[in-house]
A = this chain, B = another copy of it.
Amino acid sequence: MKMSEGVEWALHTCLNLAWVEDGSPVSATVLADYFRLPPAYLNKQLQALARAGIVSSVSGPRGGFRLAREPGDITVLDVVVAIEGPQDAFRCTEILRDAPHGEAGVDYRSTCAISQTMRKAELAWRRELAGQTLADVRATVESRFPLVAGQTRDGLRNRRT
């Protein structure tokens, strides 16, 4: 059970975008260079974020990506789902149906106690992630490390050609 590494990239990149005060787009190349990541692959992740409506893309010179919504309206869960997909980690394949007394018409995804337990746990996980918005994370960082906001802004600006 390994989460895609792109989730980490996407979260940090979204946080960086949240620090760009003017809504000017930042190219995938600049965003990738900031963390020394493969530009083309980060671009791929950003496309997923764009499809999910978290960032909006601008083509052409001076183009790039910007946050499509306010940081307070973007939860960490939104980003995770955008990259990983909406499916749960635990997928009940309803093996009870193949058991001796299994019946074809029953929906074992909802009746099976094990499936319920796993789903309940994932729900708790999602609840935690949905309770943290990008604005919350940004505020946490700014209160602990006040310099970071300015450093990031400058770092991204200097990398723009």
A122 at the interface (CB under 8 A from B): yes
Rounded to whole angstroms, the CA-CA distance of A95 and B101 in the bound complex is: 52
Q: Is the CB of B125 within 8 A of A95?
A: no
Rounded to whole angstroms, the CA-CA distance of A98 and B76 in the bound complex is: 22
A-B contact pairs, 8 of them (CB 8 A): A2-B91, A8-B95, A12-B96, A12-B114, A37-B95, A89-B89, A101-B155, A113-B141
CB distance from A135 to the nearest CB of B (A): 12
Inside 8 A of A12's CB, which chain B residues have their CB? 95-96, 114
Rounded to whole angstroms, the CA-CA distance of A137 and B84 in the bound complex is: 29
- Interface residues of chain A, those whose CB is within 8 Å of chain B, are 1-5, 7-9, 11-12, 15, 34-37, 76, 84-85, 87, 89-93, 95-96, 98-101, 113-114, 117-118, 120-122, 124-129, 132, 137, 140-141, 144, 147-148, 151, 155
